């Protein structure tokens, strides 16, 4: 026969079980609610991004501007020097090139660049000799220069004991007379590793639509001034 003590103990156990079950359900509902909020925020951010891009690429752009050739060159700064071989940046250039062409702009092909521009001129351009790029652009028939600069900054994270690197890519569009038309950039979060080019490519893949849309809008607005 169950004693009063057994009954009390059973009652407590049942009550505790019910409380744990209720708490578990509450946690599930809380988790589900937070996930739904995150999903809604992500969708709202995506809509806002798409609307921003659409507004930027809707900018009026005279055909005489769009049909002028753009020279796109990319380099990465490493250990105090610029790595300027354009073969190194083929994938990154293709991402930008595809979007520029999709908006009706005329970036020079990599074949044209190789045929018309010496490696020494590319190096001089990234080492602050704009005359080198201007001279090469004129031979190529380009009226505009789009300069892609990849840089990185490393710092030690004392908490986790690893080196962290932040990668940036800056895209600067200018006319051959030196007028700055657009300057846009993208930045990565810190990460541990040494593949700055891979990180830059990932950055461009993620943000190319917005970056190029901003370039396009600035170009169409400022090139006519």
d(CA 103, CA 66): 9
Q: Give pLDDT, residue 90.
A: 94
d(CA 134, CA 77): 21
Enumerate residues 6+ apart whose C-beta is below 8 A from 84. 73, 75, 119, 122, 123, 126
Across 1-5, 9-13, 178-182, the highest mean pLDDT is recorded for 178-182
With vertex at residue 174, the alpha carbon angle to CA 93 and CA 126, rounded to the nearest 5 degrees, is: 60
For 51-55, the CB contacts below 8 A with 24+ separation are: 52/210, 52/213, 53/209, 53/210, 53/213
Strands 106-107 and 162-175: unpaired
- Chain mean position to CA 74: 15
CATH H superfamily, domain 62-222: ABC-type transport auxiliary lipoprotein component (3.40.50.10610)
Q: With bands split at pLDDT 50, 70 and 90, how would you rate the model's confidence at 10?
A: very low
Kindly report which listed range (18-27, 84-93, 145-154, 216-225) carries the lowest average pLDDT score.
18-27
The strand pairing partners of 182, in sequence order, are 173
With vertex at residue 177, the alpha carbon angle to CA 58 and CA 219, rounded to the nearest 5 degrees, is: 5
Q: With bands split at pLDDT 50, 70 and 90, how would you rate the model's confidence at 190?
A: low
pLDDT exceeds cutoff 90 at 46 = no
């Amino acid at each position: 026969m169950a004693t009063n003590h057994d009954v009390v103990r059973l009652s407590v156990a049942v009550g505790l079980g019910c409380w744990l079950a209720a708490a578990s359900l509450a946690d599930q509902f809380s988790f589900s609610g937070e996930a739904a909020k995150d999903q809604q925020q992500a969708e709202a951010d995506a809509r806002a991004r798409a609307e921003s891009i659409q507004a930027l690429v809707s900018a009026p752009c005279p055909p005489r501007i769009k049909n002028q050739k753009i020279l796109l060159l990319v380099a990465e700064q490493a250990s105090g020097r610029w790595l300027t071989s354009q073969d190194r940046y083929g994938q990154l250039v293709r991402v930008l090139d595809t979007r520029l062409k999709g908006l009706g702009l005329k970036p020079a092909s990599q074949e044209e660049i190789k045929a018309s521009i010496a490696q020494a001129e590319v190096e001089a351009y990234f080492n602050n000799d704009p005359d080198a790029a201007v001279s090469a652009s004129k031979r190529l028939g380009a009226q505009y220069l789009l300069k892609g600069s990849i840089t990185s900054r490393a710092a030690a994270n004392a908490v986790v004991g690893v080196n962290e690197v932040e990668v940036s890519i800056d895209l600067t569009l200018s006319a051959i007379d030196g007028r700055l038309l657009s300057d846009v950039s993208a930045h990565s979060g810190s990460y541990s590793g040494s593949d700055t080019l891979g990180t830059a490519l990932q950055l461009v893949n993620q943000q190319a639509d917005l970056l190029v849309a901003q370039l396009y809008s600035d170009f169409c607005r400022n090139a006519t001034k």
